[in-house]
Amino acid sequence: MARMNRSSRLSNVFFTFLGAASIGLVVAVLAVAGVFDRTERVVSQSPRAETTPVSDERAADGSVSQIYAETAPGVAFVQNGNGGSGSGFLMDAQGHVVTNEHVVDGGSEFSVRFGEGGDELPAKLIGKDPSTDLAVLEVDAEKLPAETDPLELASSSQLRPGDVAIAIGSPFGLSGSVTTGIISALDRQIRSPNGFPIEGVLQTDAAINPGNSGGPLLDAEGRVIGVNSQIASSSRQSSGVGFAVPVDTVKDVVPQLIEGGDLERAFLGVTSSPDPGGDGAVVADISQVGPAADSELRIGDRITAVDDKEIKEPGDLSSAILEHKPGDRIKLALVRDDEQRTIEVQLGTRPDQISQG
Active site residue 102: yes
Find out whether 98 and 136 touch, Cβ atoms under 8 Å: yes
Q: Looking at 156, 213, 233, 238, which residue is catalytic?
A: 213
Residue 5 — φ and ψ, nearest 5°? -50, 135
Q: What is the dihedral of CA 188, 189, 192, 198, to 10 degrees?
A: 90
CA distance 171 to 82: 18
Q: What is the dihedral of CA 16, 261, 318, 344, to 10 degrees?
A: 150
Sequence-ordered list of residues with C-beta below 8 angstroms from that of 47, at least 6 positions apart, any chain? none
CA distance 224 to 340: 44
Q: Looking at 37, 105, 129, 133, which residue is catalytic?
A: 133
Active site residue 133: yes
Q: Looking at 37, 85, 102, 285, which residue is catalytic?
A: 102
Nearest to residue 112, comparing CAs of 75, 83, 149? 75
Sequence-ordered list of residues with C-beta below 8 angstroms from that of 320, at least 6 positions apart, any chain? 306, 307, 309, 311
Find out whether 326 and 349 touch, Cβ atoms under 8 Å: yes
Active site residue 308: no
CA distance 76 to 89: 5
Find out whether 215 and 89 touch, Cβ atoms under 8 Å: yes
User: b/e for 26-57, b at 16 or more Cβ within 10 A?
Assistant: bebebbbebebbebebbebeeeeeeeebbeee
Half-sphere exposure of 311 (CA within 13 A, CB side): 29
Sequence-ordered list of residues with C-beta below 8 angstroms from that of 3, at least 6 positions apart, any chain? 186, 187
The set of catalytic residues is 102, 133, 213
